[in-house]
Amino acid sequence: MITLYRVLTFIMYPLIFLFILIRILLNKEDPKRYKEKLLFSHFKVEKNQSKRLIWFHASSIGEFKSIIPIIQKLNLKGENFEILITTTTYSSSALAKDELKNLKNVRHRFFPIDVSFLIDKFLNLWKPDRIFLVDSEIWPNLILLANQKKIPIALLNARLTKKTFNRWLKFKNISLKIFSKFELCLTANTQTKEFLKKLGANNIFFYGNIKLIEYLNDTNENNINSDFLNKKRFWFAASTHEGEEVLCLKTHKIIKNRYKDIITIIAPRHIDRVQNIKDYCENLKLNSQLLNKGEKIERDKEIIIINSYGILKEYFKYAKSVFIGKSSILKLKNNSGQNPLDAAKFRCKIYHGPYVANFQDIYQILQDQGISKKINSHEDLSYNLLKDLEDPLKGEGVVSKNLETICKKTMVSTMDSINKFIL
């Protein structure tokens, strides 16, 4: 079966190439850097041969953000190693440019397609000493070739849904060959720990989701619209997906019946959808603004649609109440939820829909601390937001020392295991 996978990925290579070219036309790939995924001859390798290279692969924005605190702590340990971070999405590369600019010895590249000859070329060019795959990034060719080259490989914040586990279980022999190659597995939840045991993995530990470490990071923000936000009555919908903006706009209309000056700020998870959201606003006769990075909020707008990445913290700082998206869409049930910890750091009251599978453990902690609450409809959301708007204080009594303690324990145990694996 492994041989079949390798043959199929090789045969599919031209189609994947064509697919990437189509995505460029749709503005979903970087037109200047897409060749990194294909390792064309001009592919640039920047490595100090006298230093050890630690490679982290994190697929998209969420996974990338989760390892930044870890990278920062590793980066403080000295100059004897370098760090390579790979991602797959266009949006993650834009964020990497900002997040990594002040870190020494850290560089970003796009992850090559998991075709055996490309992975082999990548490993030979970069010669990593250790590899960390983040979340659910299980790539058979990479794992097996790294093992052949005697490169230790770890699974960081591992997360397997029951559906994914059952799929791997159907091919038990293949699963054993792949998962037995991991020398360390740190899981995001206890369920994944049990799944990995059954799939043949070793050295499996659960210390808590590594995204909890983000809670301990600083809370710097750009303050682009600080004067406006500090004076206005508003609520914030973050990382929304298609369908959730309608929920938010219906909520806005209910709140508007009591507070005529209410402002709703929406930051979609994918900004290529901002025009669609603006069209929703026009259909509902709501006055909206597409807000680009660096622009000021116009005084006469009631719906603000964020058209840039990387500035959510600014709005979390001033928002009393936040709805976190990817949580109310039934079809995303098995891959639902977005990280609520940035909002928690800024003492926001957090609301979410019924589907938060990817962050179930984190939301449970926040719920236990009285920080988050599940809502089931726009009526439910508007009812809770109206109660929050009646309270002039933001976040008093919301931030919990217990939460900070939990996050610190996760950080200490996780970093201890990572450092031992590297050293």
pLDDT at residue 287, as a whole number: 96
Name residue, tokens 């870190």: 103
Rg of the chain, C-alpha, whole Å: 22
Q: Name 268's bridge partners.
A: 240
Least confident of 36-40, 52-56, 287-291: 36-40
Structural domains present in the chain:
2-158 (3.40.50.11720), 226-402 (3.40.50.2000)
pLDDT of 397 above 90: no
Residue 234: is its pLDDT beyond 80?
Answer: yes
- Would you list the DSSP string of 226-291? HHHHHHS-EEEEEEE-TTHHHHHHHHHHHHHTT-TT-EEEEEESSGGGHHHHHHHHHHTT--EEEE
More confident residue, 168 or 45: 168
- Please state at what angle helix 61-75 crosses helix 90-99, rounded to 10 degrees: 30
Task: Find the mean pLDDT for residues 170-185.
Answer: 94
Diameter of the chain measured on Cα atoms: 66
| Tokens representing residue 72 in the block | 């920062």
Cα within 13 Å of Cα(336), Cβ side = 21
Cα–Cα distance for residue pair 177/175, rounded to 1 Å: 5
pLDDT at 399: 60
- Asked whether the beta carbons of 126 and 157 are under 8 A apart, the reply is no
Please answer whether residues 403 and 344 qualify as being in contact, where contact means their C-beta atoms are separated by less than 8 angstroms: yes
Strand, coil or helix: 302: coil
Residue 44, H or E segment: none
pTM, entire model: 0.80
When pLDDT is averaged across residues 199-217 and rounded to a whole number, the result is 91
Structure confidence by residue, pLDDT tens digits, 119-158: 999 999 999 999 999 999 999 999 999 999 999 999 999 9
Tokens of 185: 């597995």
Condensed to tens digits (0 to 9), the pLDDT of residues 328-384 reads 999 999 889 999 998 998 889 999 999 998 898 899 999 998 899 999 999 999 999
Q: What one-character-per-residue DSSP string does 328-388 give? A: S-GGGGGG-----HHHHHTT-EEEE-S--GGGHHHHHHHHHTTSEEE--SHHHHHHHHHHH
Q: Are 322 and 236 in contact (CB under 8 A)?
A: yes
**pLDDT at position 217 over 80:** no
CA 319 vs. chain centroid, Å, equals 21
Q: What pLDDT band is residue 285 in, cutting at 50, 70 and 90?
A: very high
Lowest mean pLDDT among 47-56, 217-226, 279-288: 217-226
